[in-house]
Structure 1
């Protein structure tokens, strides 16, 4: 019985080829979980706009959050597909951090407005810790 080579069958050591996502003669498989998630996100966005009843601030907030999430998901996909060590991966890393930071800030701003000042301060401190931790993980610690 031959022993397997190191990393055989391990998706972390031997990641699948992006083309292997295609089956049946090169046709791409549909990522059903992602598709269902995006449809649910779009339905939620439409319901939020409907329930805003013309409140421009609420519509702007929901639209910003929806578009930010779509861009964030797209950038994360591009980040995963970019070759390690490439300049594109570095640029996408910056975009992912900026999008995540802006989403954190806008949700904290919305939630903190409903809270008493001491609790709002704690919410902002937690948001800042999240942003700083994300920066550390993405840019300082990297792939160590």
Structure 2
């Protein structure tokens, strides 16, 4: 047998090391037995106190994770509301600029139409004044018939 010197000197230690190496995932000592609840003497009317239970897994989960989840949710909600408010403000600014552009375009159109009407009116006035100078007989006609 080719074992190191330590194993040749102490076979019990060598056996313990082999076992612990071979079965390192298994516990070496069994768990101690659970103590029995105290028994009451016969004839006593007191009920035994219920055994103390540790906290449940569900309760521990919610106790440990409620605050971080709530914090994350509120932060996400705040971020969404902030982004929505900024988007809404940009939409209002865009609509205002579009309306201002439309209003300016309509104002220019009205100015052009008024200028065109003034030119047409001045042309009509010139025609009327010229027509009066050309035909003086039309000024003499009065009444229902010629």
Same fold (TM over 0.5): no
Structure-2-length-normalised TM-score: 0.21
Larger Rg: 2
Provide TM-score, normalisation by structure 1.
0.22
Higher RCO, 1 or 2 (CA under 8 Å, sep at least 6)?
A: 1
